[in-house]
A and B are shown apart, each in its own frame.
Chain A
Amino acid sequence: MNGHVKSMHFQQFMEPAATLLSLLLVMAVDSTRTVSASRNPGCNSLQQTLKLTRLVEKESVDLIKTYKVSQGEMSELFCKVSVNDVPDSNISGLEPSEWIVSIFTHLQAFFPHFKRVYEQQTDLQSPTSPLLAELTTVSTRSRSLAAFISSFYQGLFPNLPVPEPAGGPTTLPPPKNVFQQKVYGCVVLKTYKEFLSNVSQKLRTLKPKVCRRRMQINTLFFF
């Protein structure tokens, strides 16, 4: 929205001089084509983060499918039960700096749960089960995503302090029976998938702001 407003502002400002700059316009069209968004480090980092977020989200969806298949009967029921002590899928904070830190913190909070689910499923699944492999993959990707978020945040807000992993111990649920373990695992994965979906949405909202600078220049020359 801000970008759009800026665009209109520049349009009004540059309208009287449009005729005079017509020659430059033609030349600029060609030059601006080569100025891609990738040349913008923040935009590039955001896009990479977005891509990785979608990737992890997709893999988490696949993981849930695999999880349901591997848990046997009543797998759908497992995922409908609510469980406490699982990180919230919602992202807190209004400003980008705030919710980016929130994303980073949430990601860090999910790692112990992934580990717990992996341990529990290790007892329930065969070592060659694709569920374990996918759990490992999602967990690893999530760590990379956290690094991406951190890097993006540092690039976007270089003067703000670097987000740190949660200092305190993550609260994990106490040992439970197999049913409760299955329910717990499914809730963790489901919540994580929802969280990633929220992350994607949040990051997409940031994309126009981060990657609009060059676009604004282009708009400047077009109007």
Chain B
Amino acid sequence: LLFGLLLRLCVICYHLVISPDSPQSPVLEIGTDFAATCMITNTDEVTADDLYWTLSGTVVPKEQYTRINKTALSVTVPITSEKREWLLCRCKNVSAYVVLNKGRFMHGIFLTKGYRPGKPENLSCIAVQEERYISPNITCVWEAAGRQTGFVPTTYTLNVRSNIVHSPIVSVGLFPNHETLDIWVEAHNTLGKVESEHLKEEANWFVKTNPPSDVRVISERTFPTSLLINWAHPIDEVYVKLTYEIRFCPSGSQNWTYVPLVDTAKGIQSFRLQNLQPDTVYVTQVRCKNAIERGYWSNWSTNATERTPEDRPRSKPDLWKIITEDESTARQVWFICKDPVLSNGRIIRFDIKIQDHKDRVKNRSGELESIPVNRSKADPSPSQQKITILKQISLDDKKSVEVYVTAVNSVGKSPEASLVITEKVNELPTVKDLKVQRNGGQLCLEWKPPARPVSEYVVEWVSGSRIDWQREKGSTKNTVIKGSLEKFVSYTVSVYPLYSGVTGKPASKEAFLEEGVPLIGPAVKLKGKPGCNEAELVWNEIPQHSRRGFITNYTIFYTSGTKTHNITVPANTTSYTLKSLSRSTKYDTWVIASTIRGSKRGFNHSFTTLKYGTGEIEGIVVGVCLSFLFVVLLTMLLCIYKKDVIKDNFWPRIPNPGESTIGNWSPDYPLKTETPKENCLSGISVLDVDVCDGKCGSEDDKASLPLKKDKYLSEEHSSGIGGSSCMSSPRQSVSDSDEGGDMADTTASTVQYSSVVASSNGYKGQTPNFQPQQAIFSRSESTQPLLDSEENPDMLLQEGSRQSQHFSRQPSFTHTAGNEDSADPADFNQLEMEQQVLEPLDFCPLEEETTPTDGQSADGLPAALVSSYMPQLGGYRPQ
């Protein structure tokens, strides 16, 4: 009452009211039009013309308004969006009262929108078996149709009604077996409700039982092609009467064979499978569903496996051969075979009979040989894939044999298979244009048949020691290899035509099921030693099992560290010579083997090229030697042809003193004028020594070495004696006296004032033999006492000999003296100095020529020279 009173007061206090007023939040169906009317109450301040509508704050266009009367204005708005919104009726500010009481001139309703529920579709229900009964829980699924909004949710109600009990839902905890159930779903919301299609079926229609239990398969020896299947009903027939479905397949296969449903009568618990393969393991499964037309199949039962009994082999063994040929020996033939396709049991032996092909017509009886085989039943692989080596024989090229083989199992023997191996020269023609191609993971073969009719073909593929084959009909021109081939393995595929059992000549091709990158690269190495600019590389072919494909080419790489070169060579190449290499350079090289799938690099090999090639050094040596020889010869020739010039240059002509007029000199005829000349000759000879310094020398000179100093000493003495004081040097004298032995001292002391120049005639004791060049002795006319040597022939001889040597071989002498006697450089310098000193003396004789010799006296000599001579100390014997 209070609420009503308040509501009434509230209504009174408002001047605008919207109809429909109840409910205040109407639920509207999206897609429809909604009409509302705004009425003015309890006031005359405004009229309907002053009213307007807003929807979500937006003024509704006046085209949607309908003026009902002076106090009522309706509006029609389309319901399009799903969002909830306010629809307000408002009043314009037409008076101060309206402005001051704005709240009283506004009224609104809240619009909630949604969709009508859609009709549930695809209703299905299922009741599964639980233990011995069907579960009372019926699970139903359906698809909700239509749209719904969150503000107007749709509720679904599942209804199950029994036709007998007429209860709306099964609530007794038991599945209503044999009752007819009416199941439907009702969808409803604020805007309405709708029912799905009714499922009005017998309750067992919804049942899904367990699969048949205890499925057993029984093999009966007397029925090798039959198996008996027994099973138990998963549920008692009083609940659900079942029908069954059976399927079976050989073990390992997934190609199920289904027994037609018409053959499996309702309620059966056993069935006999027929027309099976003997000695084959079969897997059998059974499932069930209720016997009425529709319903749910149970899951398949677990596998029941049993092997059918054995039967005698019904097909021939697959007989084949392997022939290895060696030129030196006869053909080696292995007869191999596979078990019959319809072996119908475990093959326990093969019976083989080999006979000469030419004797075949005469007598077919041959020696039968049994070859036992031991096959394990536990071996899962089909026996038809096993290859048995029956026998090996040596077969002459000119012989042919025929082989007969039968397979025997525990029940009986198979039909006979035969094969004829002909003479090698009479091999029958082969197929033509054999092509082997990869296609879809298989090797496809195509060939053209030979002109002669072929009974069948044998397609053989060999990889290493593994061999397999398959047979094709004689009309076949293409096939695929049905055996299991491995990827990346090279197979030699051969096609043999068979002419009524006689093997023809095969056609073969190499093939890969799939090619890959080689496992290893070629190992490269040098063949021999590298040259200066070239090196020969050699590599081995990759082993067959590592190639994994056809080698398309080899690429040789070599680098000296800066730039890498590569050369591609054909696949049949295993060596290559690198050229244009740099001398004395280290090269790294490797070889890449390529297939269509990729390349594999081999190991690096390093080598260093030679600096000189083979024979280069020998050539250079020979060239140098020849050049040297040429130079020597040229020099010799030059010497020969220009010997006079050379002689003149190197050995200037020295006047023979022997031919001098002094040779006619005798002590009795003093030759005053000659003496200076002699002295001058002596001086000239000293100059010549300078010219020949270091160039001349001989053993003789060396031998005469002791004489050199003597000569000098003699010269000094003679110069001193001969008045040629210019040749005397005090220093030299001192030096000589220092170096000289007693003899020198004696001489220096004895020859102060005279020099004895003896001619050969004057000294009879000297012969030319001992003094090859005549010594010239001149006798001073000095009044000085003679030397001991003059008085003593022995002394004289010795002294004379020295002087004669000096004159004859003066250049060599000087040279040798410089090298040997004056080993001390000081001595050598001393000599040079002496020569320098002596050089101006060359002209002294000329001066002396102008100066009379006999006028030679102590007064005539330079003071220095004079003073350089030491007074004789008394070592002279009186002359």
Q: Which 10 A-B pairs have the closest CB atoms?
A: A55-B238, A51-B178, A58-B238, A147-B164, A52-B178, A48-B178, A54-B238, A140-B172, A151-B164, A147-B165
Q: Is A221 an interface residue (CB 8 A)?
A: no
Interface residues of B (CB under 8 A from A): 163-165, 172-174, 176-180, 202, 236, 238-239
Whole-angstrom CA separation of A48 from B173 in the bound complex = 20
Min CB gap B41→A, angstroms = 62
State the CA gap A54–B236 with chains docked (Å). 11
Q: Determine the chain A residues whose CB is within 8 A of the CB of B173 once the complex forms.
A: 136, 140
| Cα of A208 to Cα of B178 in the assembled complex, Å | 20
When distances are taken between beta carbons in the complex, the residues of chain A under 8 Å from B164 are: 48, 144, 147-148, 151
Cβ of A202 within 8 Å of any chain B Cβ, yes or no, is no
Q: Which of A48, A58, A140, A147 contacts B174, CB < 8 Å?
A: A140
Residues of B within 8 A of A140 (CB): 172-174
Interface residue A137 (Cβ < 8 Å from any Cβ of B): yes
- Per-residue CB proximity of A132-161 to B under 8 Å, as 1/0? 000011001100100110010000000000
Most A-side CB within 10 Å, residue of B172, B174, B178, B202: B178
Q: In the complex, which range does the number of interface residues on chain A fall in?
A: 10 to 19
Measured CB to CB, the closest approach of chain B to A57, in angstroms, equals 8
Cβ–Cβ contact B172 & A55, under 8 A: no
**A51 in contact with B236 (CB, 8 Å):** no
- Evaluate contact between B236 and A58: CB separation under 8 angstroms: yes
Contacts of B239 in A (CB 8 A): 55
**What's the count of A-B pairs with C-beta under 8 Å?**
37
CB closest chain-B residue, reference A56: B238
Binary B-proximity of A39-68 (CB < 8 A = 1, otherwise 0): 000000000100110110111000000000
Q: Which residue of A has the minimal Cβ distance to B204?
A: A51
Q: A51-B178, A151-B163, A151-B164 are in contact. List 14 more A-B contacts (CB 8 A).
A: A48-B164, A48-B179, A48-B202, A54-B238, A55-B238, A55-B239, A57-B238, A136-B173, A140-B173, A141-B174, A144-B165, A144-B179, A148-B164, A148-B178
Closest to A49 in B: B178
Among A51, A144, A151, contact of B238 (Cβ-Cβ < 8 Å): A51
Interface contact A137-B174, CB-CB below 8 Å? yes
CA distance A147 to B236 in the complex (A): 23
Write the chain A residue with the least CB distance to B167. A147
A55 touching B165 by the CB < 8 A rule?
no
From known contacts A144-B164, A147-B164, A148-B164, infer whether A52 and B174 are also in contact, taking CB-CB under 8 Å.
Answer: no
Q: How far is B179's CA from A148's CA once the two chains are assembled, in angstroms?
A: 9
Main secondary structure of the interface of A (DSSP, over half): helix
Given the complex of chains A and B, what is the CA–CA distance between A53 and B202 in angstroms?
16
**In the complex, residue of chain A having the shortest beta-carbon distance to the beta carbon of B236:** A58
A selection of 6 A-B contacts at a CB cut-off of 8 Å is A48-B178, A54-B238, A55-B178, A140-B173, A147-B165, A148-B178
Kindly name the residue among B164, B172, B174 whose own CB sees the greatest number of chain A CB atoms within 10 A.
B164
* Chain A residues positioned under 8 Å from B163 (CB to CB): 151
Tell me the bound Cα distance from A151 to B179 in angstroms: 11
Contact B236 A144 (CB under 8 A): no
Which of B165, B172, B174, B177 is close to A51, meaning CB atoms less than 8 Å apart?
A: B177
**Bound form: Cα–Cα A4–B590 in Å:** 104
Which residues from 201 to 216 on chain A have a C-beta closer than 8 Å to any C-beta of chain B?
none
A54: nearest chain-B partner, CB-CB: B238
Q: How far is the CA of A55 from the CA of B239 in the complex (A)?
A: 6
A151 contact set on B, CB distance < 8 A: 163-164
Chain A residues closer than 8 Å to B180, beta-carbon distance: 48
Chain B residue nearest in CB terms to A52: B178
Write out the residue numbers on chain B whose beta carbons fall within 8 Å of the beta carbon of A58: 236, 238
CA separation between A59 and B178, bound complex, in Å?
15
Contact partner, B177, options A55, A136, A147, Cβ 8 Å: A55
With both chains docked as a complex, state the minimum distance between the C-beta of B164 and any C-beta of chain A, in angstroms. 5
Query: Which residues in A have their C-beta under 8 angstroms from that of B172?
Result: 140
In the complex formed, the residue of A with least CB distance to B180 is A48
State A113–B530 Cα separation when bound (angstroms). 118
Distance in Å: Cβ of B411 to nearest Cβ of chain A: 47
Q: Which residues of chain A from 7 to 65 have any CB-CB distance to chain B below 8 Å in the complex?
A: 48, 51-52, 54-55, 57-59
* Bound CA–CA A52/B180 (angstroms): 12
Give Cα distance in the complex from A111 to B172, angstroms: 16
Tell me, in angstroms, the Cα distance from A181 to B134 when the chains sit together: 32
- The complex places the Cα of A59 from the Cα of B202 at a distance, in Å, of 20
Give every chain A residue within 8 A of B178 (Cβ-Cβ): 48, 51-52, 55, 148
Whole-angstrom distance between the Cβ of A148 and the nearest chain B Cβ: 5
Residues of the B chain whose Cβ atoms lie less than 8 Å from the Cβ of A137 = 174
**CB-CB contacts below 8 Å: A139-190 with B:** 140-141, 144, 147-148, 151
By beta carbon, the residue of chain A nearest B163 is A151
How far is A51 from B202 in the complex, measured between Cα atoms in Å?
A: 12
Question: Interface 1/0s, chain A 82-105, versus B by CB < 8 A?
Answer: 000000000000000000000000
Which B residues are in CB contact (< 8 Å) with A147?
164-165
Complexed CA–CA distance, A85 and B859 (Å): 209
Q: How far is the CA of A151 from the CA of B164 in the complex (A)?
A: 7
Say whether, besides A144-B164, A144-B165, A151-B164, A52 and B236 are in contact (CB < 8 Å).
Answer: no
Cα distance, A58 to B239, chains bound together (Å):
10
Measured between beta carbons, the chain B residues less than 8 angstroms from A54 are 238
Min CB gap A107→B, angstroms: 13
Nearest-neighbor residue (CB-CB) of B133 within chain A: A137
Residue of A nearest to B165 (CB): A147
Bound-state CA distance A48–B181 (Å) is 12
Complex formed: what's the CA distance from A58 to B133 in Å? 13
Complex Cα spacing A57 to B236, Å: 12
